[in-house]
Structure formats: structure tokens, C-alpha cells
Structure 1
Amino acid sequence: AMLEPDSSGLSLTIARIVQRLRGSSLHSQLERQARVSLHKPEIKLESLKEDIKDFLKTSGWEKKLQNAVYSELNVFPLPCHPAAPPEHMKEPLAYMRKAQGSWEKRILKSLNSMCTELGIPLAQKRPVNEQKELLSKWNEMGTDEPDLSLFRPVYAPKDFLEVLMNLRNPNYENGEQPSFRNHLGLIQVPLKVKDIPELKEDFSELGLSIGQLGIDDAAQVPPEFFENDHVRVGQKVLAEQDSAAAQQYVRQGCPTALRADLWALILNISNQPEDILYYEQLKSNVIQHDLLVDSLIYKDVKLTASNDDYYFVFEDYLYQVLLCFSRDTSVLEHFAYSSATPPKSYVQGKLGMEEYAVFYPPNGVIPFHGFSMYVAPLCFLYHEPPKLYQIFREMYVRFFFRLHSISSHPS
């Protein structure tokens, strides 16, 4: 049979999703459910395959599988051309890759020089008495006031903005003469952006003929018509537990009361017992080991979120989430489709020996001034640290990482 032009791309995508889901807890849960169903009277030997499929459909497992596939499609980019080198998946433009590489060197140099100046190792085991103290204070870390005056943020957003402002495409000849175009914006990189008709199509839900929560409930029209109807549809979407439907639904606005549940559904976060266990493992890693980035996180929270006139009550959540995040090696997976590369360090006394190289911090993300602000808004929605943690981690590997890397990605 003749293949469709992009069917090879489609089959590559399917193969990758199957491979990724095979190692997941969902796969083992589905297997377990299929075994359980064998003892049910409605499962007949002569139509075994179809009967098990029907059982998984009616018992809600098919929907869970659909959500997992949808989540994979949202997170991982479509496969590149088979002949394209692997770095193309990270960033197709060579000058952007080069700029990102030199920016990373600068960050690492800043971290290493601080480490040398202060005479503090990048990582060390905490003494037992310190471990006990941290464990007892886990829910009130904000009461601690260690002297962090010698620690300085590795970089601030304005440093990153400066790098972006100085970025130039070597293939783009604009001449040395300053022109009108130089004054159109701070960033002088010619990138393809969507024109008005394309934007209209992309954001069709913002059209005047379509209701939008937050706008149409404030108009002269009696607001309750649209608002009540929209909330009712939202409750139905939540009852259906369909990630794709939830993502489409929120394009017309997200009712405040349903926001936490809708975002969790879109991100396919269900806070299973194994997720809570994973969070507890990260926590025990924080208790046992002291990383230099812990002090950077601590100082950042003190300088930003807790330094607020209106008193930010969730300071302790920020420490818990960010300290656990720095230890989470599953975050390293996102570097496959990020223009960034995780920094490496060497085991003491083994400098330059590749077999002793480790990613530092373990999640590959060096926190900067203002990093804790990525978590702060989520604290208003999720009040159980394990769930708050999962939502933040998923948002980071889908969206937030793009906010501090040099990339030509359309988002």
C-alpha cells in the first residue's frame, strides 16, 4: 500500500509514544486491570481481545490512556527529519545554539567562582544533627534566618535580556547604518512571527461572536447567562476527565472555582500514591544532602516572594517545592527538546575525567534571581505540597524552561 507523505513521521511519533508509555506506571496499571477483568463473567474466551477492550473503555481506563497520549503529544516535539543531526531537535539555528552555549558557560563560571570564593563545595552530606533539625523544621523553613550575605544570584533577568539584545543573525545583512528598524524593539533578531490573519485564526475564541469569561460577564448583557452556562460546561468537562476537551474549554476562560482542577486535568496530573511517594523520596534527598544551590534558592525566596508588602503566606511551600525540584533527575528529560544543555560537574579530585562527571544540580537547572516566582502563583491554587510540586514540574518542562533559554521556538 502507498504511504501518505507524512505517515513515516506519524509512525515514528506512535513508536516513540508507545516506547515512553511502556515504562510508565499507567502501563502496569492497565495490565493489572486486564488481568482482573479475566475473572469477570462478561469476558468470553472466544472474544477475549474485544471484551477486554470494551471493559477498559467502560471502566474509564481508555480515557486515562488517551490523556497520557495527549500529554506526550503536547510535551515532546514531532520527530525531525531522520537525516537531521540530534542538535537540530534542540535548536535548528546554529547561531542560537552558539549563543546559548556561551551563555551557559558564563552561568557556570559565575557559579564556580562563587563556590571557590566562599570555599563551599557544590554538594555535601548533611551531618546527622542538621538532618534532624531540617526535618523538624520542614513546614516552617521560612522562620530560619541564615546569613546569606555572601551568596549572590548567579544571574538576574536583566543579564539575560542584555544577552538577547546583543544577539545577531550573522546571515542577515542590515548594514552598519542605524535605521528606523533598529528602533522598533530591543531585540534585533529577524524571526518569523504570525501575521494578523494567522493570529485571528489561532485565537479565534477571542472573536467578538464568541463568549469569553472575564469579558462577557462584565458587559451590559446579563452576565449570568454566559457565566452560568460556561461553569456548567466546565463541570461536565471535569466529570468526563478528558485532557483535550479541558484544554479546548479553557480557551474561552477558566472559572476561578474550577481552575485548579482544570489545570491539573490539562497537565494530566492525578496525584497518585506513587507520585506522593516520589515526592517523599525527593524530600529525603533534600534532608540528606546539602547543595550550594539550596542557599541560592533560599536567598531568592527571601529577596522576592517573601519580600512582599502584602505578605505572601506560602513561603514554606516555595522552599519545599524548589528544594525538591533541584534534586529531581526526571527533569533532565526536557533537555532533549530544549536549546539548553544541563551543566556538568566532577566528583572531587576527578576534574576532567568524563566517567566522574555528574549533572549539577541533579535536575540540570541552575536557579537565578526570580526563579521562585514561577512557583508563587501556583501556591494559591494547590495546597498539598506533592500536588503543587507535580503541577509546577509539569509546567516547567512544558512552558517555563523556554522563558530562560535562547531559542527560535515559536512559543
Structure 2
Amino acid sequence: MVAGTQSNDTVVKDIISVIQASDLGWTLKRAVQDELSKSFVNVKDIKRLVPVFMKESGWDIKVRNIVFMYLMTHIPAPHPITPPETLKEPMSFIRNAQARWEKRILKSINTMCTEKNIPLARMRTIREQADFTQKWKDMTFSDENMGDIRPVYAPKDFMEVLTSLSSPNYTAKIYDYSDVNERSGTSVWGLIQVRLHLNTTQQLRVLFSNLSTHHFQTGADDIEGPNPEWQRLGVKAVQLGYTPTAQRYLQQGCYPTQRGDIWLLALGVNLSPLSYQYYNQLRASVFKYELLVDRLFLQDVRLTAGNHEAYFVFEDLVVQILLCFSRDTQFLDHFKSTSASPPHAYTRNNMGETDQTVVYPPNGIIPFHGFSLFIAPMCFIWSDPVILYNVFKALYTRFFFRLHSLSSHPQGILSLCQQFETMLQTHQPQLFYHLREMGSHPLKHAFNWIMHAFAGYLETSQLLLLWDRVIGYGTLEILPVLAVAVFAFRRNNLMEVTTPSEAEAVLQDVSSLKVIPLLQYCLYARILHPV
């Protein structure tokens, strides 16, 4: 049972609906039908044979994985009198701030359309469709007029919204600098002034206990080479095919040769012929229709992933994934339980008629500067665009969407930023105060790291080791911990700087850092505490 407001029968019905609607459900139905259509099967024995077939064929594990993922991600049904908006976000002032932010983004899109005389969407001509189809494998420079297209918003713009947010029911004590409480999320010197419940450092040590030096860690304990025993455990995890086992394995990381299979299993990604068919439908929509957000994605790839020394070789693949992503209406489901709402646009010749609007773009997500960095690192794992797309889809709907929407969720960007500020202020008060008084607030440096989940900042192998732990522990809370660790690690240099530009120079390049040793030393060797 998920919660007291839901009966077991309701949960079972919901799970059955999820299985039936999935690609796996369709494949399972066909497999059972094929098995029961064999000549030696007696109708009287069907009830007994189906469970036997499920177990012997491995389908029982696959069904258990779906049930596990449902229980991990499903939000219990609310009380009958609970307002729908409260389910999306319980704090009204955060809901209002998110609504204002969405209006601001939509206004920017409309302004761009007017200034550039570009429609939000249009059908390509037959000739354009043919040309676009031919250029699909090499399309990053298919549009020559891209120089004046700017991102709708950048992380800096979003940070300004977060730092301007304040609770109408709470006023921070301005002069009592001793009022720093990790549990309540109070950060007197911090830029985030919304009071949220946060995990204390001790609670984080318990949460990430499998990261401690008492356990083997890929990225820390394999300097001399891969650990054969750990590799064998990875093979067994894949052979078992059980999602919780794969997630537990990722808490200590995995090797590049095994990461593809283990991530698919841990994220509950089930590929079938329907997966390829659906991707081809999205691609056909790209060929047929041009969207304004296509240009935003193209420009973002050029400025970020395409301009990165490690990711530029994947430029075409990243663009293909993003263009299909913008057409995928399945992403609209996650708006039912998040603080965000998809933007709408008026249909042609129906301006001002609220009942004549459609979600725009079709997936309801307008990209920000650096969005493509969420996809580029995974190109080192998979070259098949269908696999890559479905893994990105799982990662985005489980984790990444929380990094660019306002909410009070423990893994939301607001909580992550306050977690960073509270931890750093609690354990490194001198460093925090020094940077703050110098006009170089720590969050101004760390915000981009957190909002991009360190993509584009860490060396790729180190980033994937970090994402191993995000998937394994099922939380983004490891991001602010790593951000604090970077500041603590470079404390001596930061204490010597006297200008914001010098502080930026110290923190600008983190690509040489080793993530796992830094996290271990931060959480378990007490590097957080000043000497």
C-alpha cells in the first residue's frame, strides 16, 4: 500500500494500467499468447501454466521492476478535498512565483517571434521536408540564419528569481549570525531566504553511507585498474535483471563497459519494437513541422555541447535527440505532479480565445542555455539514438526537470541551493563570510554546477561516476554536497583572494577534480570542518 489514502485495490489497478500502457505490456501480452497457443497446452491448465511461464521466461522479474519503479515514483492519491494546485505545490507563494516565471518565459518567446518575424510553428513545404530528411545525419548547420537567435533564459536569470523569493510567513534574523540550523534550512548569510526542511550533514552521511571508505568505490579504489570482483558483481546484477539490485550496485559506481546495461536496468528503461516505432514517429514530425524551439535547441548545441572539447563530435546526435524531444507529448504527464505547467499558444486565427490554445512546444518544455549538456555526456555510452533518447527521457522525468522549476520539493533547485548554502555556512563560516563580504557570494559560483548537474564542468568520466550515484541513490542531493566539497577543497586559495574575479578564477575550472575521493573526504573525513 502506497499511502493511507489509497487502497490496495486502487494501487493494483493503477499498476495494471501502467503495465498495459507500456511497451513491455504489449510485448508481454504477445509472449503469453504465443506460449498459450502451442498445441500441447490444455485450456484447463492455463491458470497453472501462466505463472510457471512468467517465472521460467524471466517475465516475473520485468513485471516486478515496473511495480518497483511505480512505487518509487508514484505520488499517492490526495485526500478527496485536497485542491489540485496544492498537490502540484503546497506553498502558494512558490506556486505564484513559478506562474510568474512561466509568463516571463512565454513573453520572451512571443517577443522573439515578433522581432524576428518567425512563427511559433509552421508546416515545411514538400521540398523542405525532402531536404531536411536528407540532412538529418548532418543537420547542426542546416539553418544559416542563427546568429541573432538568443536563449530564452540563462541560469543567471533563473537564479535571480530564486534569490528574490521570500516566504510571507517567515522573516530571517538579520543580526543573529548564530541562528544557523541545518535542519530548518536557515541560512542568515545566504541568498536563498525560503525556509525549507533540509537533511543535516549527519543525515546525509547516513543517506550516502555506501559512499564511505568502508566500501569499494569505482573512481577511488581502482587507481591501479578495474576490480575483477566488482566487475563480476556487475555482470550478476545485469543477469539478475532486477532494478533495485542495479540501483544498489550504482551506489558504488560501475565501469564504462557495464554502464549501459546497468543504467537501462536501474532506470527501468524497457526497449521494444514499439520504442523504435515511437521514435520514428517523432522524427517524422520533425521532418514535417518546424518549431521556433528548434532554433533555440540548435543554437544551444552550438554554444555549449558543440563548443565543448569532449562533446563537439556528438553535435549531430544531440540535435537529433533534442528535436525529437520537443515533439514528445508523453512528457506532459509529468506536469500533473510538478509545480510547473506547460506553456500554451493560440491556434491560427483564434488569438485571445482561451479554449483555442495548444501546448507549445508539444512537450511543454522551453529550453534554457546549456540544456543540451544533459544529453551530450551520455553519447559516450550509447550511439543508438533510440536507446539514448529513452535513457534521457527517464533521467529527465526522474531528476533533471527539478533543476529548472520552482518547488519546495527536497530535490528541487530551491532546496538544493539552500542545502549548499547551509552546509557551507555551517562548516566553513569563515570562508562563506569572506566571499560574501568580498561581493562574491558562493552560490553565484555554484549555481551553474547544480543547475546543470555538473554537466559541462566535470571531465566526462568523473561526471558519469557522479550520475551513477544520482541514479543509485535516487536523489539529486549529492549535487550540493559536491559543490560544498569543491569550496572546502579550495578553501586555502579562496581565503587569499581579494576580488570577485580572483575567486572566479579559482573556481572556474573543476574539470581536474576527482569526484568520488572528494565526496568521501567531504562527508566522512570531516573536511567540511575548518582546521
CA pair 169-56 structure 1, distance change in 2 beyond 3 A: same
Alignment partners' CA distance in 2, 1:10 and 1:187: 41
Q: Secondary structure at the match of 2:290?
A: strand
Within 2, Cα distance between the matches of 1:146 and 1:33?
A: 49
C-alpha separation in 2, matches of 1:254 and 1:127 = 48
1:132 is aligned to 130
Aligned residue identity for 2:210:
E
Q: Is the 8 A contact 2:311 2:377 kept in 1?
A: no
Query: Map of 1:192-207 to 2, 5 A cutoff?
Result: 192-207=197-212
Task: Assess, with a 3 A threshold, how the Cα gap between structure 1 residues 233 and 4 changes in structure 2: closer, same or farther.
Answer: closer
Give 1:364 shift. Answer: 0.2
Query: Match for residue 405 of structure 1?
Result: 405
| CA spacing shift, 1:17–1:352, aligned 2, 3 Å | farther
Please say which of residues 321-330 and 69-78 is displaced more in the overlay. Answer: 69-78
**Which AA in structure 2 matches 1:200?**
R
Query: What is the deviation of 1:86?
Result: 1.8
CA distance in structure 2 between the aligned counterparts of 1:5 and 1:146, rounded to whole angstroms:
54
* 1-structure distance, mates of 2:36, 2:3: 41
1:233 corresponding residue in structure 2: 233
The residue aligned with 2:257 is 257
The whole-number CA distance in structure 1 between the counterparts of 2:3 and 2:254 is 38
Q: CA deviation at 1:44?
A: 5.0
Residue 81 of structure 1 aligns to a residue whose secondary structure is coil
User: Whole-Å Cα distance in 1 between the matches of residues 3 and 382 of structure 2?
Assistant: 45
Is it true that 1:162 corresponds to 2:145 in the alignment?
no
Deviations 1:186-228, CA, capped at 9 Å, x for gaps: 212211111233223211212332222222224xxx876xx21
Aligned to 1:67: 65
Corresponding letter in the other structure for 1:335: F
Measure how far apart 1:253 and its partner are: 1.4
Q: Which amino acid aligns with 1:298?
A: L
Q: Residues of 1 paired with 2:121 and 2:3: CA distance?
A: 51
Question: Are the counterparts in 2 of residues 155 and 368 from structure 1 also a CA contact under 8 Å?
Answer: yes
In structure 2, the partner of 1:285 is 285
1:211 aligns with 2:216: yes
One-letter identity of the residue aligned with 1:295 = R
**Partner deviation per Cα, 1:232-254 (whole Å, 9 max, x = no partner):** 01001111211121011111111
- Matched residue type, 1:190: R
* Letter aligned with residue 36 of structure 1: D
Residues 1:15 and 2:13 aligned together? yes
Q: Which amino acid aligns with 1:244?
A: P
Identity across matched positions, percent: 42
Matched letter for residue 93 of structure 2: Y
Normalising by structure 2, what TM-score? 0.72
The 3-state SS of whatever aligns with 1:124 is strand
Normalised TM-score (structure 1): 0.91
CA distance in 2, matches of 1:166, 1:49: 62
In the alignment, structure 1 residue 383 sits paired with structure 2 residue 388: no
Q: In the aligned structure 2, how far is the partner of 1:311 from the partner of 1:329?
A: 28
Moved more, 266-275 or 14-23: 14-23
Give 2:29's match in structure 1, choosing from 28, 31, 39: 31
**Match for residue 75 of structure 2?**
77
8 Å Cα contact 1:343-1:359 kept in structure 2: yes
- Displacement of 1:350: 0.5
Q: Which residue of 1 aligns with 2:307?
A: 307
Question: Do the aligned partners of 1:43 and 1:52 also contact (CA within 8 Å) in 2?
Answer: no
2:209 maps to amino acid: S
Match of 2:328 in 1: 328
How many Å apart are 1:13 and its aligned residue? 3.3
Which residue number corresponds to residue 49 of structure 1? 47
- The amino acid of 1:114's aligned partner reads M
Query: Relative to 1, partners in 2 of residues 1:306 and 1:34: Cα closer, same or farther, differing over 3 Å?
Result: closer
SS of the aligned residue for 2:306 comes to coil
* Aligned partner of residue 259 in structure 2, secondary structure: helix
Aligned partners of 2:3 and 2:160: how far apart in 1? Answer: 43
**In 2, Cα distance between equivalents of 1:57 and 1:125:** 49
Other structure's SS at 2:326 match: helix
Question: Cα offset for 1:348?
Answer: 1.6
Question: Across the two proteins, how many residue pairs are aligned to each other?
Answer: 403
Find the aligned partners of 1:25 and 1:306 in 2 and give their Cα distance: 33
Q: Which moved more, 1:383-392 or 1:44-53?
A: 44-53
> How big is the shift at 1:160?
0.3
Q: Could you tell me how far apart the structure 2 residues matched to 1:7 and 1:37 are?
A: 39
Task: Give the direction of change, closer, same or farther, for the CA distance of 1:154–1:60 in structure 2 (3 Å limit).
Answer: same
The DSSP-based 3-state class of the residue aligned with 2:169 is coil
List runs of 5+ in structure 1 lacking aligned partners: none
RCO (CA 8 Å, sep 6+): is it higher in 1 or 2?
A: 1
In structure 1, the residue matched to 2:108 is 110
AA partner of residue 13 (structure 2): A
Contact 1:342–1:360 under 8 Å retained in 2: yes
Partner of 1:123: 121
Match of 2:191 in 1: 186
Aligned-CA RMSD value:
2.2
Single out whichever of 361-370 and 25-34 deviates more from structure 2.
25-34
Task: Evaluate the alpha carbon distance shift between residue 162 and residue 136 of structure 1 in structure 2; reply closer, same or farther with a 3 A threshold.
Answer: same
2:56 maps to 58
Q: Please state how far the C-alpha of 1:354 moved relative to its aligned partner.
A: 3.2
Which ranges of 4 or more aligned residues in structure 1 deviate by more than 6 Å? none
Which structure 2 segments of 5+ residues have no match? Answer: 181-186, 412-531
Q: CA 1:189 to 1:403, structure 2 compared with 1: closer, same or farther past 3 Å?
A: same
Question: For 2:342, what is the secondary structure of its paired residue?
Answer: coil
Residues 125-170 of structure 1: CA distance to partner in whole angstroms, max 9, x if unpaired? 1111111111111011134461222221110011001111111011
Kindly tell me: are residues 185 and 396 of structure 1, through their superposed partners in 2, closer, same or farther at Cα, counting changes over 3 Å?
same
SS in 2 for 1:19: helix
Contact 1:9/1:79 (8 A) holds in 2: no
